[in-house]
Structure 1
Amino acid sequence: MHALSLPTWWIHVTSVLEWVVAMVAVQRLGVARREGGWRWLSLAMLPALVSAMAACTWHLFDNSPNLQGLVVFQAGLTTIGNAALALAAWNLLRQQRQATP
């Protein structure tokens, strides 16, 4: 845990928690509006959450070279998460355009 300062840890942890709150908020918005696209957007946020948790785990073990595979995993999840978010946002836009006369 020595690789990061306490304020940097605080930002990492609160960012992960904030992302979880955002996922729940997006999910609830979808339920309230009865629009399934919002639920897909919330689900598409999951790879980015796991990616952030992988990064925090790597930092927790002082950026150990033994965990280099975790860094590659995290980078892959970031790529997948960005693509999933783009597709979910496009799907949401498409659904909303179809619903508007």
Structure 2
Amino acid sequence: MNVLSIPTWMVHVSSVVEWTVAILFVWTYAQVSAKLYWRSLSWGMLPGLVSAMCACTWHFFDNPASLDWLVTLQASLTVIGNCTLCLAGWWIFRSSACQKTDH
């Protein structure tokens, strides 16, 4: 676990914690506001969280070549996560626009 400095580890770990808390906040907002379509954003954020966990895992084990597949998985999940966030944004926009025209 000596590949990254302590401050770099702090950034990595705090980013994972912050992303997790953000997912929970969005989910809670959906519940409290009764705008359940916001849950799509929470679901869309999950691939990004798993991507970050892949990066932390790879660094935790000192970046061994035997875990190079984690780098590929992390990159793939980043792309997938960007797409799911885009789709979630579209779904929220569409759902909120439909809700406005219903009144």
Q: Which amino acid aligns with 1:9?
A: W
Q: Unpaired runs of 5+ in structure 2? A: none
How far the C-alpha of 1:66 sits from its partner, in A, is 1.2
Query: TM-score, normalised on structure 2?
Result: 0.95
User: Equivalents in 2 of 1:49, 1:7: separation in Å?
Assistant: 20
How far the C-alpha of 1:40 sits from its partner, in A, is 1.0
User: Equivalents in 2 of 1:83, 1:43: separation in Å?
Assistant: 12
* Aligned ranges 1:6-85 → 2 under 5 Å: 6-85=6-85
How far the C-alpha of 1:36 sits from its partner, in A, is 1.8
- SS of aligned partner of 2:62: coil
How far the C-alpha of 1:98 sits from its partner, in A, is 1.1
User: Equivalents in 1 of 2:90, 2:30: separation in Å?
Assistant: 15
Query: TM-score, normalised on structure 1?
Result: 0.96
User: Equivalents in 2 of 1:36, 1:82: separation in Å?
Assistant: 21
2:91 maps to which residue?
Answer: 91
User: Equivalents in 2 of 1:37, 1:15: separation in Å?
Assistant: 25
Aligned alpha-carbon RMSD (Å): 0.8
Percent of pairs with identical residues: 50
User: Equivalents in 1 of 2:79, 2:49: separation in Å?
Assistant: 12
Give per-residue Cα distances to partners, 1:25-61, cap 9 Å, x unaligned.
Answer: 0000001111122111101111100000000000001
Length, aligned pairs only:
101
Question: Which runs of structure 1 show a deviation greater than 4 angstroms over 4 or more consecutive aligned residues?
Answer: none
1:2 maps to which residue?
Answer: 2
Q: Which amino acid aligns with 1:75?
A: A
